[in-house]
């Protein structure tokens, strides 16, 4: 692009062609879009991420002052942008984010990349290969560039129940599952805000009103749609299943909690990062819990994305925000049958060591009592069967084993030659569509499952615990693992998340396994240890 001699590779930014994609024509020079640049920030020490019990968490102002980007680094990026005719749309000091707007030709020159149209099995995207390159004087200052490539990354982790559920199938209202899992009583989430990340879709207030009326649930918390990257509450598409599931599960269990839904318009890593960034640093709605039911294989994005999303999760922990993330619905493969490469994959951002990764089970109950529970796995060799699903879980190939998992005997990665890494999920809850959640979407009553439902269920539990204790419990993983095998959990010792003819995956077991983690919650016992 003519700038190679003055530019250097940005570590962690390397991209390959999307699987089975073919390169087409160059991107038109005057195509306008936005790019998010992340700059370095002072690291957050461990004692801030996990302060002693009852010690205060950082305020938003303290986080920005102590661990936000330096003014001179933000100014250096602004000056760089001006040299190439790019416009600074927004700067966020707390997260070190600088949003730039410009034309394709300007971005190609500024970051020494070539942008092309790529066609793949499910559509087209604007893409690049190789490294993003930055001016040598910004090496070490710029740590991530997102949005040059807009290939899809994340997908929702939900599945509708297949038509004609079998006789042994039983579906549940969310509050019924809360009772089966012994959630705290006498609290409703009042004073808490649950942030929900959504990459498209929307909700219809009339549906919510009807749904909660039919459940005989009085919702007193507010519901707010927050726009990120020009996203909006736009019901009418496939993503509505995810949006309505998340809201209905969270509000049915914690009807006093406020709900803030962060809408971003697409499923790229840029939009994902921007949405989580906005939720974590939102001082107006100030979520104390965040639920994320979207994700994709770690291999589906760059190392710099993994690093930056984890740093954002560290900031959430320092603020006392508990982040609950679905672990995926395609077993250890983490990819649908038609896309699977035959290897095991951990789901991102569930693999971040600073989130609570939530897997899935199938629960059986009778007379309002939990009778049996096993790993959710509907493994199928029929690649046309959309109801295929299994609890996501496995070993990260990006993040090492965190200290609070060191006492466990983690299984080796199902991939030959892969080293040890962070194990997911941490916990689980009902996710099988055959024991799924009764919801309402776009005027229809449906049954939906997936780890997408398990994540907001755990988020609602945390909101109840926060209210009960009068404080934010924040980053809870170390405490949960210190009680592995104890009363807070229902261990899952039946089933596996193996997929395909090669049986790639992991078995169940106690005190932890790579299908359902430590197990499903005994909510009141969980509350006691936090």
pLDDT of residue 501: 74
pLDDT at 118 over 50: yes
Lowest mean pLDDT among 277-281, 300-304, 376-380, 504-508: 376-380
8-21 pLDDT, tens digit each: 999 999 999 988 88
226-273 pLDDT, tens digit each: 999 999 999 999 999 999 999 999 999 999 999 999 999 999 999 999
337-396 pLDDT, tens digit each: 777 888 999 999 999 999 999 999 999 998 889 999 999 998 644 434 445 799 999 999
Give the residue numbers marked as catalytic.
242, 246, 452
pLDDT of residue 166: 54
Q: Which of 151, 437, 454 is nearest to 293 (CA)?
A: 454
Confidence of residue 524 (pLDDT cuts 50, 70, 90): very high
pLDDT of residue 320: 98
Burial code (b: 16+ CB inside 10 Å, e: under 16) for 15-31 equals beebeebeeeeebeeee
313-326 pLDDT, tens digit each: 999 999 999 999 99
pLDDT at 503 over 90: no
pLDDT of residue 453: 98
Confidence of residue 34 (pLDDT cuts 50, 70, 90): very high
pLDDT of residue 161: 85
DSSP letters spanning 204-265:
-HHHHHHHHHHHT----S-EEEEESTT-----SSTTHHHHHHHHHHHHHHSTTSEEEEEEES
Structural domains in the chain?
Answer: 4-146 (no CATH), 170-182+190-364+371-378+388-418+425-484+494-529 (3.40.50.200)
Instruction: Work out the number of other CB atoms within 10 angstroms of the CB of residue 137.
Output: 12
For range 487-501, the mean pLDDT: 93
Asked if residues 253 and 174 have their Cβ atoms less than 8 Å apart, the reply is yes
φ, ψ for residue 157, nearest 5 deg: -100, 60
pLDDT at 2 over 50: no
Query: For the whole model, what pTM was predicted?
Result: 0.96
393-418 pLDDT, tens digit each: 999 999 999 999 999 999 999 998 88
């Amino acid at each position: 692009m003519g700038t190679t001699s003055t530019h250097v590779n940005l570590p962690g930014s390397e991209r390959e062609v999307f699987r089975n994609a073919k390169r087409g024509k160059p991107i038109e020079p005057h195509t306008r879009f936005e790019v998010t640049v992340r700059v370095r920030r002072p690291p957050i020490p461990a004692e801030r991420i996990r302060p002693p019990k009852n010690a205060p968490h950082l305020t938003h102002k303290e986080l920005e002052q102590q661990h936000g980007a330096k003014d001179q680094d933000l100014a250096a990026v602004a000056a760089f942008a001006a040299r190439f005719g790019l416009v600074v749309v927004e700067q966020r000091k707390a997260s070190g984010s600088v949003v730039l707007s410009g034309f394709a030709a300007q971005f190609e020159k500024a970051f020494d990349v070539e942008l092309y149209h790529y066609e793949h099995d499910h559509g087209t995207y604007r893409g690049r290969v190789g490294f993003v390159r930055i001016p040598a004087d910004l090496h070490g200052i710029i740590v991530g560039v997102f949005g040059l490539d807009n290939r899809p990354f994340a997908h929702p982790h939900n599945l509708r129940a297949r038509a004609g559920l079998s006789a042994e199938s039983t579906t549940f209202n969310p509050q019924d599952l809360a009772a089966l899992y012994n959630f705290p009583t006498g609290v409703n989430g009042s004073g808490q805000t649950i942030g929900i990340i959504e990459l498209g879709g929307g909700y219809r207030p009339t549906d919510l009103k009807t749904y909660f009326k039919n459940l005989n649930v009085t919702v007193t918390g507010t519901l707010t749609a927050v726009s990120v990257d020009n996203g909006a509450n736009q019901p009418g598409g496939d993503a509505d299943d995810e949006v309505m599931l998340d809201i209905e599960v969270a509000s049915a269990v914690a009807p006093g909690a406020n709900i803030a839904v962060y809408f971003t318009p697409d499923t790229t890593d840029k939009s994902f990062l921007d949405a989580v960034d906005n939720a974590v640093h939102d001082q107006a709605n100030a979520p104390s819990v965040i639920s994320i039911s979207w994700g994709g294989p770690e291999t589906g994005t760059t190392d710099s994305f993994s690093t930056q999303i984890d740093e954002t999760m560290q900031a959430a922990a320092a603020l006392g925000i508990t982040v609950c993330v679905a672990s995926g619905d395609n077993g250890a493969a983490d990819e649908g049958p038609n896309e699977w490469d035959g290897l095991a994959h951990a789901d991102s951002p569930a693999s971040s060591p600073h989130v609570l990764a939530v897997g899935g089970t199938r629960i059986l109950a009778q007379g309002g009592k939990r009778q049996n529970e096993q790993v959710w796995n509907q493994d199928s060799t029929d690649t046309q069967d959309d109801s295929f699903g299994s609890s996501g879980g496995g070993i990260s190939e990006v993040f090492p084993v965190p200290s609070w998992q060191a006492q466990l005997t983690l299984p080796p990665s199902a991939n030959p030659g892969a080293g040890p890494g962070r194990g997911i999920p941490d916990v689980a809850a009902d996710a099988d569509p055959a024991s799924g959640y009764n919801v309402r979407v776009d005027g229809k009553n449906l049954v939906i499952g997936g780890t997408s439902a398990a994540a907001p269920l755990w988020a609602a539990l945390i909101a109840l615990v926060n209210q009960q204790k009068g404080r934010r419990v924040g980053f809870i993983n170390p405490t949960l693992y210190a009680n592995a095998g104890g009363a807070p959990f229902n261990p899952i010792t039946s089933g596996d998340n193996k997929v395909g003819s090669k049986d790639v995956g992991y078995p169940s077991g106690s005190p932890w396994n790579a299908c359902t983690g430590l197990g499903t919650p005994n909510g009141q016992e969980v509350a006691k240890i936090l």
